[in-house]
Structure 1
Amino acid sequence: MVSLIHARAITTGVPHINLGILAELPIPCHPLHIQRAISEVLGALDDKIAVNERIAEIAMELAQARYALTPATAVTRIGDIAAVFDGPHATPQKTPHGPWFLSISSLKGGALDLAESAHLSEDDFPRWTKRVQPQEGDVLFSYETRLGEAALMPAGVRACLGRRMGLLRPRSTSANGTLLLHAYLSRDFQEEIRRRTVHGATVDRIPLKEMPSWPISLPADNDREDLIAALNALHARITHTADENRALAALRDTLLPQLVTGKLRIKDAERVVEDAV
Structure 2
Amino acid sequence: MQLDNIRDDGLVDTSKRYTITEDDYRKWSAKFATQPWDHVITNVGRIGAVARIPQGFVAALGRNMTGIRPNDPTESGAFICAALQAPAVRREIELRTDAGTIMNALNVRSIPHLRLPKSSADERRRFHSLVAPRLILMDHALQESQRLAALRDVLLPELLSGRIRVPADEVA
Bin of the TM-score, shorter chain as denominator length: 0.7 to 0.9
**Could you tell me the TM-score, scaled by structure 2's length?**
0.81
Output the CA distance in 2 between the equivalents of 1:104 and 1:204: 19
- Greater fraction strand: 1
CA offset digits 1:123-168 (Å, max 9, x no partner): 4433432332222111111111322321111112232222222220
Q: Which amino acid aligns with 2:39?
A: V
> What is the CA deviation profile of residues 192-245 of structure 1, one whole-angstrom value per residue up to 9, with x for unaligned ones?
222221111122111113433444323223323331112102101211111101
Q: Aligned partner of 1:251: which letter?
A: L
Identity, in percent, stands at: 25
Which residue number in structure 2 is paired with residue 120 of structure 1? 19
Q: 2:36 corresponds to which residue?
A: 136
Counterpart secondary structure, 1:212: helix
Give the Cα separation in 1 of the matches to 2:116 and 2:134.
23
Is contact 2:14-2:143 (8 Å) kept?
Answer: no
The residue number in structure 2 matching 1:253 is: 153
Aligned equivalent of 1:196: 96
Question: Which residue identity lines up with residue 259 of structure 1 in the other structure?
Answer: L
Of the three residues 208, 226, 229, the one matched with 2:108 is 208
3-state SS of paired residue (1:108): coil
**Which structure is richer in relative contact order (CA contacts within 8 A, separation 6 or more)?**
1
Matched residue, 1:183: 83
Indicate how the Cα distance of structure 1 residues 211 and 158 shifts in structure 2: closer, same or farther if over 3 A, else same: closer
The structure 1 residue matched to 2:69, chosen from 169, 186, 201, is 169
Q: Check conservation: 1:137, 1:178, Cα contact below 8 A.
A: yes
Note the C-alpha offset of 1:112: 2.0
Residue in 2 that maps onto 1:230: 130
Q: Deviations over 1:48-82 (max 9, x none)?
A: xxxxxxxxxxxxxxxxxxxxxxxxxxxxxxxxxxx
Aligned CA distance change for structure 1 residues 178 and 118 (closer, same or farther; 3 Å): same
In structure 2, C-alpha distance between the alignment counterparts of 1:189 and 1:175, rounded to whole Å:
19
1:106 aligns with 6
User: Could you tell me whether the CA contact under 8 Å between 2:12 and 2:53 is conserved in 1?
Assistant: yes
Runs of 4 or more, structure 1, over 4 Å off, are: none
Indicate conservation of the 8 Å contact 1:103/1:118, yes or no.
no
Shift of 1:171: 1.0
Instruction: Work out which of the residue numbers 260, 263, 267 in structure 1 matches 2:167.
Output: 267
Residue type at the aligned position of 1:177? G
Q: What is the rounded CA distance, in whole Å, between the counterparts of 1:122 and 1:254 in structure 2?
A: 28
Q: Which has the higher helix share?
A: 1
Instruction: State the secondary structure of the residue aligned to 1:188.
Output: helix
Q: Secondary structure at the match of 1:107?
A: coil
Q: Which has the larger radius of gyration?
A: 1
Cα pair 1:178 1:228 within 8 Å, conserved:
yes
